[in-house]
Amino acid sequence: MKNSYSVESIANSFLRSSFAGDNSITPMKIQKLIYLAHGYSLVMRDISLIDELFEAWRFGPVLPSIYHTCKKYGNKSISDYLKEPGYDLLSTQKTTLHINDPQVVEIINFVWENYGLMNALELSDWTHEKGGPWDIVIGQKGERFKNQTIDNELIKKYFEERMIDNGL
């Protein structure tokens, strides 16, 4: 069992579900889906789902590597899997790291089933919720902030409260 996964591996898990159905994912939406899965993982597994920390950017929680990888799509749907660590640049065949932890698969499926049909703006409104991790970090720094890290403990606490409120 692995502690954390590359952000690309988690993104590709959501993209796989998207490509299998008729539900597109924009760069903004993939950020929010990963954020949700990460939050649930912190509570359910007590460890980080991903190998990168979220940052509080002006327009919400962001994984910088996903932002830079996906910005070429603008506000259009992501049309291909993301290159993962270990990707063979000389090969034309995509490689996807297999997520073999059943609890991680369950979390990803839960997030997709419960939030996958929401659009990016609906998910964004949720991540900007007053008193949420992003809001707290932005509130601490005000207009002087610049891409501050959102502490995983803050995310975990927020998701614990949210899960209790929703009876999970």
Share of the chain above pLDDT 70, in %: 85
Half-sphere exposure of 89 toward its Cβ, with a 13 Å CA cutoff?
A: 1
Query: Does position 11 have pLDDT exceeding 50, yes or no?
Result: yes
Q: Which pLDDT score is estimated for 30?
A: 98
- The answer to whether residue 2 sits within a structural domain is no
Tell me, yes or no, whether 100 lies in a domain: yes
Q: Write down the pLDDT at residue 135.
A: 92
pLDDT band at 91 (very low <50, low <70, confident <90, very high): very low
| HSE-CB for 111 with a 13 A CA cutoff | 27
The domain in which residue 68 lies consists of 7-165
Q: Is residue 42 part of a domain?
A: yes
Q: Please give the tally of structural domains in the chain.
A: 1
Tell me the pLDDT tens digit for each residue of 109-165: 999 999 999 999 999 998 999 999 999 998 876 655 667 899 999 999 999 998 876
**Interaxial angle between packed helices 102-115 and 7-20, expressed in degrees from 0 to 180 and rounded to the nearest 10:** 50
CB-based contacts of 43: which residues, under 8 Å, 6+ apart? 156, 159, 160, 163
pLDDT at 23 over 60: yes
Residue 90 confidence (pLDDT): 47
Is 46 part of a structural domain of the chain? yes
Read out DSSP for 5-24? B-HHHHHHHHHHHHHHTT--
- Span 67-74, mean pLDDT? 96
Residue 160 lies in a domain: yes
